[in-house]
Structure 1
Amino acid sequence: MSNEHTLKAYGRKDEGKGASRRLRHAGRIPAVVYGGGAEPASIQLDHEPTWLAQQNDWFYASIITLDVDGKSEQVLLRDMQRHPYRQLIMHLDFQRVKADQKLHVKVPLHFINIDKSPAGKSTEATVTSEQNDIDIVCLPGNLPEFIEVDLGGINVGDTVHLSDVKLPKGVELAHAIDDAHNPAVAVARNTKVEAVEEEATPDAGDVPASKEEGGTVE
């Protein structure tokens, strides 16, 4: 279950591009809250604390308590628009959540114990993550901030698939696993073997002219 996280927000009445531009110049972020059986509400948040908050995993995959003018609402971030090159959040979308309604959320994966694994201790292997997050479904009260993937037993040449990930209680995958959908989440590649294979594969410039397409043998 996620820890409690609260963001301070304020109501706003002015809408439109001009109003949003003025808010950004004042160090505020225009945002909207929708869903939960209530009308959408336009709000604003202070940019600096929100910018700091969005550097954490929980900002994207946890229930957030929005304190809007003293009234609390449980929400989940659904969209964030950033400036293309400045450190600036342009707009936020939050969805209200209900305790009895399941959520479909992307949750980050945290890989642990790589350095303790046989592959991690080997000089001939490189352990890489193939997925940084997974789609899950759960009730708000069961939503984890992240899911740990223990790679303490991974050997050189092993592949850890989505079906190998242990999910917390009350959490299920958003998509069923079958032969067509069971992607790798981590791989321990044998770098020595790959290096030998690359050396054994000739470049186009190394192929004799007689073997190239259209070449002749004298």
Structure 2
Amino acid sequence: MKVIAFKRELQGSGASRRLRNSGQTPGIVYGGSEGPVLVSLDHNALYHALKKEVFHSSILELEIDGVSQQVLLRDFQVHAYKQLVLHADFQRVDAKQAVHVKVALHFENADVSPAVKLHGATISHVANEIEVSCLPGKLPEFISVDLSNIDVGHSLHASDLVLPEGVTVVAHGADLTIATASVPAGHVAAEAEAAAEADKK
């Protein structure tokens, strides 16, 4: 995805407020061998881009005054109640250096799992994204989570994920739980009641 930005010289809250009033969002680009560069971006274009999942987990082509470079969106701030992006941070990436990025999880095949099909269980998504490490060119848009084999009382962990080639999970010392399957309490009670009635007969 391509992002257009312009260098800005002025900084401080007053300058940022004037930028926002003119339909621009202040931002910064940092990392790599160059120093940080203050930029401004078109607010509406950025606001709509932030709604797309791919914008958060892709290498972006950032063009500043006609010169392109590869970056990752690292952070952004939005107004507490207005539809307003206050600031965006981008980090330059090197094609030869691994990056750590949070990537969205897409859950699939829950309806054919033993938990749902045989036991009417509910599958809870404990994590909706996961941090991975890979070279920029290997960065996946999302990671698929196959739930077809999950059964009641079982959980799916980060170590169970099938990852694209060259991609590893950043574990932080724990095997992150991704999803769990459990039967709703009311459903258990109803089943027990039905079993008790059957015993009476």
TM over 0.5: yes
Cα drift, residue 15 of structure 1: 1.4
Quote the Cα distance in structure 2 between the aligned partners of 1:131 and 1:9.
Answer: 33
Quote the Cα distance in structure 2 between the aligned partners of 1:70 and 1:120.
Answer: 53
1:149 aligns with 2:145: yes
Contact 1:63 1:74 in 2 (8 A): yes
Quote the Cα distance in structure 2 between the aligned partners of 1:170 and 1:45.
Answer: 33
The alignment of Structure 1 onto Structure 2 pairs a total of residues equal to 191
Quote the Cα distance in structure 1 between the aligned partners of 2:6 and 2:19.
Answer: 12
Alignment correspondent of 1:92: 88
Alignment correspondent of 1:165: 161
Cα drift, residue 77 of structure 1: 1.0
Q: Which of 89, 102, 105 is 1:106 aligned to?
A: 102
- Which digits, 9 at most, give the CA deviation of each residue in 1:59-98, with x for residues without a partner? 2211111121211110011111111111111001100000
- Which digits, 9 at most, give the CA deviation of each residue in 1:122-151, with x for residues without a partner? 463101101111111111011111111111
Alignment correspondent of 1:27: 23
Quote the Cα distance in structure 2 between the aligned partners of 1:30 and 1:176.
Answer: 32
Question: So what's the TM-score if we normalise by structure 2?
Answer: 0.88
Alignment correspondent of 1:188: 181
Query: Which segments of 5 or more consecutive residues in structure 1 lack a partner in the other structure?
Result: 200-218
Question: So what's the TM-score if we normalise by structure 1?
Answer: 0.81
Q: Helix, strand or coil for the counterpart of 1:58?
A: helix
Q: Which of 5, 8, 11 is 1:9 aligned to?
A: 5
Q: Helix, strand or coil for the counterpart of 2:46?
A: helix
Alignment correspondent of 2:75: 79
Q: Helix, strand or coil for the counterpart of 2:20?
A: helix
Quote the Cα distance in structure 1 between the aligned partners of 2:172 and 2:29.
Answer: 31
Query: Which segments of 5 or more consecutive residues in structure 2 lack a partner in the other structure?
Result: 193-201
Give every structure 1 segment of 4 or more consecutive aligned residues whose post-TM-superposition deviation is greater than 6 Å.
none
Cα drift, residue 11 of structure 1: 1.6
The letter of the residue matching 1:141 is G
Quote the Cα distance in structure 2 between the aligned partners of 1:6 and 1:141.
Answer: 16
Cα drift, residue 108 of structure 1: 1.2
Cα drift, residue 194 of structure 1: 7.3
Quote the Cα distance in structure 1 between the aligned partners of 2:185 and 2:120.
Answer: 5
Higher-Rg member (1/2): 1
Q: Helix, strand or coil for the counterpart of 1:14?
A: coil
What's the Cα RMSD here?
2.0
Q: Equivalent pairs: percent with the same residue?
A: 46
Contact 1:125 1:192 in 2 (8 A): no
Contact 1:31 1:43 in 2 (8 A): yes
Contact 2:158 2:169 in 1 (8 A): no
Quote the Cα distance in structure 1 between the aligned partners of 2:180 and 2:171.
Answer: 21
Quote the Cα distance in structure 1 between the aligned partners of 2:64 and 2:167.
Answer: 30
The letter of the residue matching 1:154 is I
